[in-house]
Amino acid sequence: MKKVIMSLLSLSLFAGIAVGCTSDQDKTTKKSKESKESTEVTSGASANGYTDLSELEDQYDIVIIGAGGAGMTAALQAKEAGMNPAILEKMPVAGGNTIKSSSGMNASETKYQKAEGITDSNDKFFEETLKGGKGTNDKELLRFFVDHSADAIDWLDTKGIELSNLTITGGMSEKRTHRPADGSAIGGYLVDGLVRNVKEEKIPLFVNANVTEITEKDGQVNGVKVKLNDKETKEIKSNAVIVTTGGFGANKEMLEKYDPKLKDYVTTNQEGTTGDGIKMIEKLGGATVDMKEIQIHPTVQQDKSFLIGEVVRGEGAILASQEGTRFVNEMDTRDKVSAAITELPEKSAYLVFDQGVRDRAKAIDFYDEQGFVVEGTTIEELAKKIDMPEAKLKETVEQWNKEVQAKSDTQFNRATGMDHDLSTGPFYAIKIAPGIHHTMGGVKINTKTEVLKENGAPIKGLYAAGEVTGGLHGANRIGGNAVADIIIFGRQSGTEAANFASAQK
């Protein structure tokens, strides 16, 4: 368990501190660091906003299972609606996979886009996401998603979580990936902000509280059973339950069951992402969808199973083979880029970029601290250090720079992430290969986030949001859409569960 805690703490520090926050963020995250370092496996209220398990009551209006971005968003929205929610998290710290998010949050027709003169539309966002998902996305969920994306950005603003810096991810034609003002990774900034708001709203957030069963009576969900500190089990009653437990990207058995080819892949998922919510909902008769759709992310550092964010490519990096040549449109969808890397003899490649990319993608500073980044004063020196043909890599970069200037990629038709060439030394490389990143499949929901049975009828009182659900992303998720998913549908689940719970009083 100590190993789990330290792993999660280091991720918290990466996402919220090590990637260059603004001065106000520095103060917040410094406090966060101090409190996280003092968090114990045992219960105990902390400066992080966690509530002592001794304060766990027998009944709440709404119980939320999982303290990632979707769960905390749902809780805040339910509280706004006048409910008394509680969050139960099985891990020793809040954040889930959200804390590992890097690139940003996609949204269209936002005030930040308009301020930069970016002409975007919800329809374009819809069509590009549908194309990225190979046309298999649940169109009703997707329509709701794009049409409520700008509102979600505005809602975060009201919580002091400003995502004003724009970049782009693979499969998108416009800069609609919103991130913190300084360009740092979104994960820790978002989690710190949500935890802060949960604490300010006095919403109880219990860690080391592992929900093992969702209970029901007469066909309606009426609470949960929760194991506290791996010891005693307690039954909590509630008028509604929201499941926000994430996917199953860290569950080897489930991954192999749905796609045996993934047996030897590393995973970027945090250790608690084991499909618990899906299993509990299936026991209640909940339907699942797209369970075989498991996303492989193309740029994962293999030794530490650490995702290298899409923002690095979005800000101008290229991918080079061991021979020193480009081999793919780096900004294509994740499935296509991953397949291209896997087809190389080494089944790995290098992200190659310059100081300009590093300045714009602040997460690289953390990657460097972890030992992932190789540096060379010149392209030739860099090539020598990573055992590439020096002349070939230099030729590749020079050709790329010409194509950036001409705004025309004659080799692979890349059209985005070409605002800057690679000409500002020093130069850098990170060795990467594909890894398991996101499970697109999960429980079936409607636009009210009600969990559905196989016959399409909702399970009364049961709601779900985030990666535990399936259908939105189709066969392939677009980078930046997962954070949007947890905020948009996290809010919706909080609102709808509050409406249902209120009617039960």
Determine the pLDDT at residue 36.
36
- Specify the CATH superfamily of domain 53-293+440-503: FAD/NAD(P)-binding domain (3.50.50.60)
Determine the pLDDT at residue 49.
65
Q: Is the peptide bond before 426 cis (omega within 30 degrees of 0)?
A: yes
Q: State what percent of residues in the chain have pLDDT above 90.
A: 87
Residues sharing a CB contact under 8 Å with residue 472, sequence separation 6 or more, in sequence order: 137, 138, 141, 142, 145, 440, 481, 485, 489
Residue 38: pLDDT band with limits 50, 70, 90: very low
| pLDDT tens column, 429-454 | 999 999 999 999 999 999 999 999 99
| pLDDT tens column, 6-23 | 444 444 433 332 322 333
Over residues 404-423, mean pLDDT: 96
Determine the pLDDT at residue 183.
87
What tokens were used for 364? 């690289």
**pTM, 2 dp:** 0.85
Determine the pLDDT at residue 184.
87
Determine the pLDDT at residue 48.
60
* Stronger pLDDT, 313 or 4, i.e. the higher one: 313
Angle, vertex CA 197, rays to CA 6 and CA 494, nearest 5 = 100
Q: How far is the first Cα of the chain from the last one, in angstroms, to the nearest whole number?
A: 40
Domain ranges of the chain: 53-293+440-503, 296-436
The span from the CA of 378 to the CA of 394, in Å, is 9
- Indicate if 334 belongs to the active site: yes
Q: Would you say residue 505 has pLDDT above 90?
A: no
Reduced to 3 states (helix: H, G, I; strand: E, B; else coil), residue 31 is helix
Mean pLDDT of the chain: 91
- Domain pair 53-293+440-503 / 296-436, same fold: no
Instruction: List phi, psi (to 5°) of 430.
Output: -130, 125
Which CATH number applies to 296-436?
Answer: 3.90.700.10
Over residues 191-212, mean pLDDT: 97
Q: Which one of the listed residues 196, 334, 477, 491 is annotated catalytic?
A: 334
Determine the pLDDT at residue 5.
42
Over residues 333-342, mean pLDDT: 94
Nearest alpha carbon to residue 397 among 386, 382, 415: 382
